[in-house]
Amino acid sequence: MALDDIYKETILDHYKNPRNKRELPGAVVTCTKNNPLCGDEITVAANLEDGKLLEVAFEGAGCSISQSSASMMTESVGGKTVGDAMSLAADVRGMLAGEVEPDEDVFGDLVALKGVVKYPIRIKCAVLAWDVLQEAVSDGGAASGGAAH
């Protein structure tokens, strides 16, 4: 099987069997964004404790890239500190820009998104979930962390 086919299989698997796609009642942080270019919409909800993402769930609709990226995102950042999750988000963006060579041990299934590099129009689909996570976490931090501003 060609590498491209493996990537496609992984993306389709997450699209058809999304992980952590559910409501998270009483979530500490939540945010919704959409990608009008493609019609994708993603809501991310998470619970935070001691600077760690305890639970991360998403809901949404859209193309296979956007939904599978969201599914992979919830799997890969759950249990991480916000700082680690944000640095992974930066690395995913870098990979999608063709600037970061993903480490499979760290990226896991996320490596499958690497194939999107060849389709610039779909990069927005792939980063949407990460944008939502980033905004949810920064809003939540400001609201609950008593940050000075």
Q: Which residues bind Zn ion (CB under 5 A)?
A: 38, 40, 63, 66, 125
What is the smallest separation between the CB atom of 27 and Zn ion, expressed in angstroms?
A: 24
Of 20 and 69, CB closest to Zn ion? 69
What is the smallest separation between the CB atom of 35 and Zn ion, expressed in angstroms?
A: 6
- Tokens coding 134: 């980033």
Of 28 and 42, CB closest to Zn ion? 42
- Tokens coding 119: 């389709």
Of 45 and 116, CB closest to Zn ion? 116
DSSP letter at 60 equals: E
Q: Which of 33, 38, 133, 39 is nearest to 90 (CA)?
A: 133
What is the smallest separation between the CB atom of 39 and Zn ion, expressed in angstroms?
A: 7
Of 37 and 106, CB closest to Zn ion? 37
In one letter, which amino acid is 6? I
Determine contact, residues 52/82, Cβ cutoff 8 Å: yes
Residue 76 neighbours by CB distance under 10 Å: 20
In one letter, which amino acid is 38? C
What is the smallest separation between the CB atom of 74 and Zn ion, expressed in angstroms?
A: 17
